[in-house]
Amino acid sequence: MNFLHYQKGKLFAHQHSITELAQQYGTPLYVYSRDYIEQQWLEFDHALKGRKHLICYAIKANSNLAILNTLAKLGSGFDIVSQGELERVLKAGADPKKVVFSGVAKSEAEIERALEVGIKCFNVESEPELERIQSIAQRLNKIAPISLRVNPDVDAKTHPYISTGLRNNKFGISYQLARAVYQKARELSHIEIFGIDCHIGSQLTDISPFLDAADRILTLVNQLKNDGIIIKHIDFGGGLGVCYDNETPIKSSDLVNELIKKLAAYDCDDVEILFEPGRSIVANSGMLITRVEYVKHQDDNHFAIVDAGMNDLIRPALYEAWMRILPEQEDKPGQTIYPYSIVGPICESSDFLGKDRELAVEQGDLLVVCSAGAYGFTMASNYNSKPKVAEVLIDETSHRLVRKRETFEMLWQGETI
């Protein structure tokens, strides 16, 4: 998060004071850097210059309309997993012909809507799904473009909750069955085979699982060619890790260069390349600003009780994700530093944002949870009847509200007594 820095002891994002952002928009508050998002997407795109390609941003990471619109203007494609995400990208001005539809449980209504607007392709994750798409396409008299999401059974060496490429994961079609399913798809009247897709997990900081998966996928591409099935695009998925603490992430250019070498060896120079990055585009664009409501010391336990909780940012509670937490003002002379647990207002013992953080804080101080741009607001809830927080988009010189803070009345919209 190179746009986050201290000036005269006060924390700034680009040239914007964290204190002033909190005063204007309230807390808790999500803030995202548009400049950072554009930079990350363009680095991926430029790495593929000279090859037919499409970068499909995985909108589950952060689905704010302003961010989607920013990426659509750059020419981005989008990876979606629901009709709601489809409607979001259309509302944001995306080209439906640049949309790929993933997800293991596509409903009839979702498939029908995607065919109606003309998406690029379905990433099919099971034989029953393939049959459902065929049936709906036949009824609508449309040809459905498909790609099979193949599970390469590769260990991504990441947290088990975000691993997706092993045979015991729910995602994709078994590598051992994929060839037969492609042969079946070829015989279906309203199905057209376009590509092959794989995605092995998230927050990957080791390049070897990517390359292992690519080897398996490219071997299958050659086998399919021998069967007379020509693959027009290969989707290598997403999953590039980011730096939350001291990780050394894979550069998008390094990954692209290694995969292009493999493509040349497999005679795939004319195949379109797709990627589905999400976290790597937005994670370090965002922060969650929260205010200390109380400081509590009891025995050897020290708590900074803040106004943001697991309803706003569930990653630490869900899989003990570590995220850097910075004070809005640098340590004051004479303040005592304690190993604080940063905990929220939710009535759950798992409601924490960080543990054992060496800080000097007082009631009313602001804290900034870094690297909160991915899987933050998109996983937020109204648990404990908490309204969802506001979102703000900034660049070097300006800031604007891109989602209003929910009101209490919005909590019970649609309910009746």
Q: Which residues contact 127 (CB under 8 A, 6 or more apart)?
A: 173, 181, 184
For 115-220, where are the E strands, in sequence order? 121-124, 144-151, 173-174, 191-197
Task: Please give the single-letter amino acid code of residue 392.
Answer: V
How many DSSP H helices and E strands does the chain contain? 12, 21
HSE-up of residue 84 (Cα within 13 Å, Cβ side)? 5
Please say if 121 is a catalytic residue: no
Residue 75's closest CA among 36, 40, 42, 120? 42
**Three-class secondary structure of residue 240 per DSSP:** strand
* Contact between residue 199 and residue 210 where contact means Cβ atoms under 8 Å apart: no
Q: Are 119 and 142 in contact (CB under 8 A)?
A: no
Q: In terms of C-beta distances under 8 Å and separation of at least 24 residues, what long-range contacts does 79-87 make, across chains too? A: 79/238, 79/276, 79/278, 82/110, 83/107, 83/109, 83/110, 83/113, 83/114, 85/59, 85/60, 86/110, 86/113, 86/114, 86/117, 86/119
- CB distance 68 to 92 below 8 Å: yes
Catalytic residue, chosen from 56, 121, 347, 370, is 347
- Cβ burial 266-279 (10 Å sphere, 16+ → b, else e): bebeebbbbbbbbb
Write out the catalytic residue numbers. Answer: 347
